[in-house]
Amino acid sequence: MDKKIAEMAKEAASQAYVPYSHFPVGAAIVSQESKVFLGCNIENASFGLSNCAERTALFKAVSEGIHDFSAIYIYGETESPISPCGACRQVLSEFCDDEMPVYLLSKNLEVKATTILELLPYHFTKKDVETND
């Protein structure tokens, strides 16, 4: 866990567009080459179209051709470390190895370190799709 990257995830939350929930979230995903991509949650009047911070960060990286990651930091202005939603767990599992560290952060930067597999055991993967061809 890198304190500087945790601070970057916190800073990313300041860009959150959250007129409906007033619940800013920030994320920082780190590539294998140590490049950091930041993201925030972006809401919409059509609530279901809102995008979570961790998906924003991941999609920014993937859209620049980066598919290999070493860690993600997710920050919420919460009393205890934030817990990512199910949709984000599935989307992260598409690109991140089972053992990749996930650092969940509270408003005071208290950390819960976990992994992709711990967050979403027995997840649906591209192997499941391919074996069905």
Catalytic residues: 54
CB-based contact 100:72 (threshold 8 Å): yes
For the CB of residue 128, give the shortest distance to ligand THU in the complex, in Å.
Answer: 24
For the CB of residue 28, give the shortest distance to ligand THU in the complex, in Å.
Answer: 13
Question: Any contact of residue 18 with ligand THU (CB under 6 A)?
Answer: yes
Question: Any contact of residue 114 with ligand THU (CB under 6 A)?
Answer: no
Phi then psi for 126, rounded to 5 degrees? -65, -25
Q: Work out whether strand 25-31 and strand 69-76 pair parallel, antiparallel, or are unpaired.
A: antiparallel
Size of the site for ligand THU (CB under 6 A): 15
CB-based contact 104:89 (threshold 8 Å): no
Footprint of ligand THU on 26-85 (CB under 6 A) = 41, 43, 50, 52-54, 74, 82, 84-85
Q: Is 19 or 65 the residue whose CB approaches ligand THU more closely?
A: 19
C-alpha distance from residue 4 to each of 12, 21, 28, 43, 81 (Å): 12, 27, 11, 27, 17
Question: Any contact of residue 119 with ligand THU (CB under 6 A)?
Answer: no
For the CB of residue 99, give the shortest distance to ligand THU in the complex, in Å.
Answer: 20
Segment near ligand THU (CB under 6 A); pick from 15-23, 28-36, 90-98, 124-132: 15-23
For the CB of residue 84, give the shortest distance to ligand THU in the complex, in Å.
Answer: 4
Separation of alpha carbons 11 and 111, rounded Å: 16
CB-based contact 52:25 (threshold 8 Å): yes
